[in-house]
Chain A
Amino acid sequence: MKTTMKEGFDLAMMRGLKKWRLFSLLAALTIFLSGCGEEYLSTLTPAGQVGRDQFNLLLLSSAIMALVIIVVVIIYVVALVKFRRKKVGEDVIPKQVEGSHTLEIVWTVIPILLLIVLAIPTVYYTYKHADVAAMDQVDEEGNKTNVTVNVTAKLYWWEFEYPDLGIVTSQELVVPTDQKVFFNLKAADVKHSFWIPTAGGKMDTNVENVNQFYLEFDDASASLEQGVFYGKCAELCGPSHALMDFKVKTLESDDFNAWVESMKTTQNVATDDLATEGEEIFNTSCIACHATSGAGTTGGVGPNLATFGDRNRVAGFMAHDEENLKKWINNPQEYKPGNLMPQPEAINDGEKFSEAQLDALAAYLMGLSVEK
């Protein structure tokens, strides 16, 4: 493999770390920290290069800071033990020292050196993680070499459009492993922030401009406890900010391509009677806002439901079962206050959906799938 300049820099940095004799401290920190949190959610178990870079920066900065703390604590404890009034005597007047130029220089210069050690990788990674030049790269045939996802954050759900692939989905981001995935981020109503803690840091979705960055994913998420990574909204966006979760499914290249193909050709046909009945209700009450085909572009009023049956959650945060789905449909405001889905009365002739209607709808929605 060709060693690029950046990788060389990473290596040099690691050597530099050793030189500073922080390595053993780092190793201890790594073990301690990775014990914290769930592997599908924690920043301490990075799932891709961006997250790993940032995790390494966490280790480096923690180590430097630990060093500072140790020095402070030693001076502090010794002073406290040695110079208590009980020890030095009630009537002793200590020498009124003015200060020390030598010491002032020592504790000015050493922190500056420590900060330089931290500042260099900081600046390096700041540029590295903002580098989206490869976003528009094309191969000989003119096809994009990397996947780009247009993320639109809405109250309180996420839309993921793949502009080069002509497909759109929501609530569950599906991305290939082993390549940079580029993101165009925007908010449709108020500001949100797009965060997949395991994959890397967050980026705000502003209302007036598109932000760009990239993330990388090492392995397929299928091996995780629930088969998905967790994604979060990190910017206060209203009452249901806490519930504005999404999930991330990472697939090997081939699987990803297969998923894209089935998205492009989604044909969700209700298979049994109950689901057919559900489809009819859906077509009168829901379809104005919810699309059920994966082929398409951004701009859905409500989340695209082409992959609903494949999903991990109902409404982004409730366990994925028919029970919750029915509760959700009949009272979205109770479960996600402030969200924009109409209450059933507004779309079902002024009444709640009946239990039979709900059963039918649930059967239909759970059948919407591109993976089965």
Chain B
Amino acid sequence: MHKIILAGESSILIYFGSKIDNSLPKNIANFANELNTQFSDLIIDSIPSYTSLLVNYDLSKISYLEFSAEVQNLLENFKFSDSVQTYDLIHIPVNYSFETGLDLEKLLAEKDLSLDEFIDIHSSQEYLVHAIGFSPVFAFLGQVDKLIQAPRLATPRIKIPAGSVGIADSQTAVYPSESSGGWNIIGRTPLDLSLNNPESLNKFKVGDRVKFYPITHDEFSRYGE
């Protein structure tokens, strides 16, 4: 089931499956923890994503063949779970409005939904953190209900405000800091997820669950007071 391939002179990539699957993120995160515990002196960094784990190791201490064999051995003895398990449940307040959700009006028209219906669909569900990337603290969350899925914009925006919540196909995410990007923006969180906030870096990890809850414009403005 799993497969190890070469990724660079001091890195390997481990595949745990070939399709996106809700049981994978926690298994991959658990395996990464196990690997880090067993080989803390050899491992420099590891990057989980959807179906895989990239591992950078110290070639001064172990060769590619030796390290791959160690990982292979650990994979064979590792207890994978088929059920969907997760770590923490993280609650994120979102103001869904035409002011903060730059694409919301367009989406409501396309999907033939009222604002309340849209909010209910996006916020009633728990999402799973499948990967973190694109930029720091940017967590890819799945799966968005088919009723509100929308493809990336043909022309990405140059500037999206920090905290913007977006949808791209079956995924949703919060832009932690101001950046460019092509996701459909449906609202904004008042949480500071940027690197200016020292707690942001550990806000999400692969395998966490995330639930959004709606807040009013007033609550958004007064958040944190």
Asked if A and B are interacting partners, one says no
